[in-house]
Structure 1
């Protein structure tokens, strides 16, 4: 990124250099003190304290450890929600940044520290400017990583207690250059399910396999057979992924074990594809275990639905991003990601848009969930600017909105 280009990006943020540095200090403090799903007590406390200092109404304990700050201006009845996730990952940080995690085995390897800092920066600016007409709900969500904090907030009455007409989310995206954003209507990310298959046979001496019922052979047959489901049973026009990610059995060289375990994940958009996948999995587990003479049980858990953007809200968000970054720097043609996001639960309840924020400099950094990952602080100003401009546009006074 050339210096003149970066200067322009910083200017788009509508924030002073001191405000940008303040966001960086918040971000790095959160990075030093990572907290994982539903344990975000320090994080939530820091966020709630900052929001109160900005003059917002603040509610805590939403979805167990979530925080919502409410800001109102003018007489407008419209309201929008802006969401950032707060949690870290169970991962040993291997980078050597000065703000390295102080909690071994936990780190912000997905940039949620940056997400919080950008939304806090936008909240502070909008609290000072009041340059909108209506209400903004600043939603700081716990437990995005696997544990469904978005669903917990919804079950806790998020939008009944803090009404919104539309809701917006944003995630930093390695692989997308700094100064670009991406969004499109329809699916942005996949649905996410988990499965566990437990096999029980008869163990014994490895030199006498005729005396056992071998769960390892059944396990191997299942791993291979499960891979045929997507390629042979799912409509080729429906994207889907089935991955076995854990294979456990045995304890030593010369003993055939009695038990074996398989775990994994299923990703898809179309619920019809999911129904086919689950049905075929159960059939294969039953038939292969019967053929191999072992017993089998399968659990299947529905986790996150697909993250699906609404047409009108995505068009608005893309126009806002283009006004900040230029039309050429707003990607509306990127392929959906096979990863998943529990912001999907909020999009099921209200229309909205989930966007990706470019963070790659001249040399791309580490990817998400890498032990070497660190959020690019140069993206803070851009993300905060997007939130500010989005709120000002979505909640423009009636007379100004009519002009647009």
Structure 2
């Protein structure tokens, strides 16, 4: 395995510029979840151009390619996500998003490209025993893509005894890896509450209004007791407010009849998720009733906790070491309260998720994920491809 990355780089030399061009083209044409029509057409077209015949659509905008080795054997899955975010790009890059309000701010353009590169490499070097299913998933960013592909028969149509995923991580040194056994990413839950009152004249007759602004103030004060007074100090949970809307700056004397507040909840166990949801409902209802108002509470857990499986973490760690060396692999990384819907797949099949260091790319200091200045580092492409090849080597035998 010594020199795997160098070997892959050598094999990629003739077409690495093409892969970089694909990545930058995807970056320039971002599409939101379940709208990845152009992206999936690019993916499907490239796979077929490279002689991969078994390519199918899944969940409308998803794509799965099947590559069989020269010998029979096991079946594994490699997964990348394809969707962009509703953010206006501010990188100033020549290949920046052509669409106001949409950009690849999370590296999914790079994830897609690395898996495409792995597909091309594996198709030309099928000296392994078994089948590799390459899953190009739509709608990871909160629009239910993992659930959609599972519902469309992902694991029935493309059987996998194990499935693997990765994510580029800014701030982590270029080409370094991080993962852990057990809970790695948090369950993610956007919530929204509408408080309804009567409204009224804030100057002449505030005493006649059921004032939702008073309810909102009481609720915001109480909200942060959910974690501190209901969740054990040894557990981890987050409850944050992201927005509040009510009334009008043009009518400051009017008490509005309703106000909307929303945010996110995060945790690492489903038991904790139940507590967070219950207390959010109880507090919103109690605060509203105390002021003769009502509360409509919407809670939607978009992804369960991402729980890595022990055997597959060992496979992932070994593959990462094959590529980057032991010094560049953190096998006991801190859990992250970010959400990742690859967790849905890990509830059904064993697998492992790793972070792959994006380095600094174009920004100094490096820009974080989900920010207007983030860009995937193209120097990561051959490293990601080599990692996928190493996973196949570890699961199905050497790719020569």
Separation in structure 1 between the aligned mates of residue 343 and residue 209 of structure 2, nearest angstrom: 47
Deviation at 1:187, TM superposition (A): 1.1
1:128-160 deviation digits (Å, cap 9, x = unpaired) = 111211000000000001101011000111000
Check if 1:219 corresponds to 2:220.
no
Segments of structure 1 that go 5 or more residues without pairing to the other structure are: 1-6
TM-score (norm 1): 0.93
Partner of 2:79: 83
1:328-358 deviation digits (Å, cap 9, x = unpaired) = 1001122111010111111111100101000
1:203-225 deviation digits (Å, cap 9, x = unpaired) = 11111321211100101111111
Equivalent residue runs for 1:283-322 within 5 Å = 283-322=282-321
Q: Contact (CA 8 Å) 2:4, 2:323: kept in 1 or not?
A: no
1:283-309 deviation digits (Å, cap 9, x = unpaired) = 212211111121112122121011111
Equivalent residue runs for 1:161-172 within 5 Å = 161-172=157-168
Partner of 2:383: 382
Q: Contact (CA 8 Å) 1:12, 1:324: kept in 2 or not?
A: no
Separation in structure 2 between the aligned mates of residue 227 and residue 244 of structure 1, nearest angstrom: 10
Indicate which of 29, 40, 43 corresponds to 2:39.
43
- Tell me the matched-pair count: 392
Q: Contact (CA 8 Å) 1:190, 1:339: kept in 2 or not?
A: yes
Indicate which of 133, 136, 151 corresponds to 2:132.
136
Indicate which of 235, 239, 244 corresponds to 2:241.
244
Separation in structure 1 between the aligned mates of residue 393 and residue 9 of structure 2, nearest angstrom: 13
Separation in structure 1 between the aligned mates of residue 4 and residue 94 of structure 2, nearest angstrom: 28
SS for the counterpart of 1:83 is: strand
Check if 1:281 corresponds to 2:280.
yes
TM-score (norm 2): 0.94
Partner of 1:325: 324
Segments of structure 2 that go 5 or more residues without pairing to the other structure are: none
SS for the counterpart of 1:385 is: helix
Deviation at 1:391, TM superposition (A): 0.9
Separation in structure 2 between the aligned mates of residue 72 and residue 166 of structure 1, nearest angstrom: 16
The 3 A distance-change label for structure 1 pair 177 and 340 is same
SS for the counterpart of 2:221 is: helix
Deviation at 1:95, TM superposition (A): 1.1
Partner of 1:369: 370
Separation in structure 2 between the aligned mates of residue 367 and residue 72 of structure 1, nearest angstrom: 37
Indicate which of 121, 128, 133 corresponds to 1:125.
121
Partner of 1:3: none
Separation in structure 2 between the aligned mates of residue 68 and residue 9 of structure 1, nearest angstrom: 25
Separation in structure 1 between the aligned mates of residue 372 and residue 7 of structure 2, nearest angstrom: 32
18-27 or 210-219: bigger deviation? 18-27
Separation in structure 2 between the aligned mates of residue 198 and residue 106 of structure 1, nearest angstrom: 28
Deviation at 1:63, TM superposition (A): 1.6
SS for the counterpart of 1:94 is: coil
